[in-house]
Amino acid sequence: MNPERDLKNWLQKLMGARILFSCLLLGSTAFLECYRPRLQDAAPLHILYGLNGVIFCLSLAYAIALKRSENLRPLAYWQTVIDSLLVTVILYLTGGFSSLFSFLYLVVVVYSSLLLPRRGTVLIAALCGIQFGLMVDLEYYGFLNPSDSPGYALAAVYGGDQALYKMVIIMIACIVVAWLSSFLSEQALNTRRELRVMEQHVKRVEKMAAIGEMAAGLAHEIKNPLASITGAIELLRDDLRPDPDHDRLMQIVLREADRLSSLVGNFLLYARPPCGKPEAIDLEKVLRETAELFGKKGAANHRIAIRVNAQPGIWIGMDSAHLKQVLWNLLINAAEAIEEQGEIRIELITIKDRQACLRVCDTGTGMQPETLQSIFDPFFTTKPNGTGLGLSIVHRILDAYGCRLAVDSTPSRGTAFSVYFRQIERPGASMLSQSKAAIILDSPSQISY
């Protein structure tokens, strides 16, 4: 998901909506001028024409800035602030306190929630309320006369109580709409992000499954002749007379054959991961044990600090060997991404829908977007001595247990792998709850005695 691209799309839609509104305003102004000439003295129509010109010029300036700006957030703030000022001008030209267009403040607040974070939306809502209150105050005390005509009822005509009441209502409405719209916008944004992640996960699983089916047969076909070659070399070495040169060549053949056999074994593990024997595992306990062992014997070499922040009481159903293999691979990748001194943070929390999220974050070099799209592909690696199967095998193992693996990386800042597990009940918890229920049911009879 690209926030800048989404923001750019929303800004483009906003510019189109602004131009459409300007066209409608221009058409209504022309209608008033042509068919209701008696209102020409009551409403400053020439100012409305000027306002349309200002909106068109602003839209052109926004379009130029949108193409040239790299950081679009300030542009979004400026657009919403200027739009709130334009709404205030429209209200002033159409009757001020008695204008029917005060709802346009709410429109500005609603679309600001699509462009800005919640704090920015609340600030825009407060700005709209302050502008309306200031306009009504100036009108009430006679400093402003929206129409210069008795055709409109001024704020002073309604009285101070009603003017204050409408000001408070507009301000409260802006704040409430800002809170609700920003909340709904964040929910929609999170939903879109989850849908995109799930879509990428499904595509990745389908791709890896297709490759795995093809690779399984190929790996078997390689493994059988390789075993024959290794056996033949062993027999030749036993039968031939001792010769240092021949023995050195045979050692090279056997060593490379073992390396190729290990590679084929990993490829088979990727193609068809073993089912294993799922068991109830205390994830926090295994996580701390693996992190402690990795800090002593892994690739950390005392140059990397490993910090664990795990929520206790999270149980999952998985083969313990597979879980340790997944954790070890993720820790190795995190350690190899850190060139000198650094830190690996391991976090474990519960999330919605009875799921647990394990995050392994490093302070390494990070990955470019093009690299990030290919890290789960078999044999793709950025390491000189890597095989490119580690993360592919981790992904296949987790997929076999219905788990999900996601990655987020920023160049020069680090990478975070997130594993989503399905939680299960703690072993013995159901029996304990049943025994408690039995005690509660039996207690009245015991008390009666």
Q: Where are the domains of the chain?
A: 3-200, 205-271, 279-429
Q: Are 423 and 316 a contacting pair, CB within 8 Å?
A: yes
pTM, two decimal places: 0.55
Q: Which of 392, 367, 395 is nearest to 377 (CA)?
A: 392
CATH fold group of domain 279-429: Heat Shock Protein 90 (3.30.565)
CATH number of this structure's domain 205-271, picked from the four choices 1.10.1060, 1.10.1660, 2.60.40, 1.10.287: 1.10.287
Do domains 205-271 and 279-429 share one topology? The answer is no
411 in the Ramachandran plot: left (φ > 0), alpha (ψ -120 to 50) or beta?
beta
Side-chain half-sphere CA neighbours of 330 within 13 A:
31
Strand order in the sheet with 414-422: 304-310, 342-351, 355-362, 414-422, 404-410
Handedness of CA 418, 424, 429, 434 (dihedral sign): positive
CA–CA separation, 30 vs 63, rounded Å? 27
> φ and ψ at 345, to 5 degrees?
-105, 130
Neighbouring residues of 65: CB distance < 8 A, sequence distance ≥ 6: 75
Burial 132-147 (b: 16+ CB within 10 A, else e): bbebbeebbeeebebb
CA distance 156 to 424: 67
The Cα–Cα gap between 66 and 62 comes to: 6
Measured in degrees and rounded to the nearest 5, phi and psi for residue 127 equal -60, -40
Could you read off the pLDDT tens digit of each residue along the chain, which spans 449 residues? 566 777 888 888 888 888 888 888 778 777 766 765 554 444 456 777 777 788 888 888 888 888 887 788 888 899 999 999 988 988 888 777 778 788 889 999 998 888 888 899 999 999 999 999 898 888 878 777 765 444 444 555 666 777 788 888 988 999 999 999 888 888 888 888 778 777 777 776 666 666 666 666 666 667 777 777 777 877 777 776 767 777 788 788 888 777 777 777 666 666 666 666 888 999 999 999 998 888 877 666 677 888 999 999 999 999 888 898 899 989 988 888 888 788 899 999 998 878 899 999 998 888 887 787 777 777 677 776 666 677 877 887 888 888 888 888 888 888 999 999 999 888 865 544 454 444 434 443 332 22
Cα–Cα dist 198/339, whole Å = 32
CA atoms within 13 A on the CB side of 203: 9
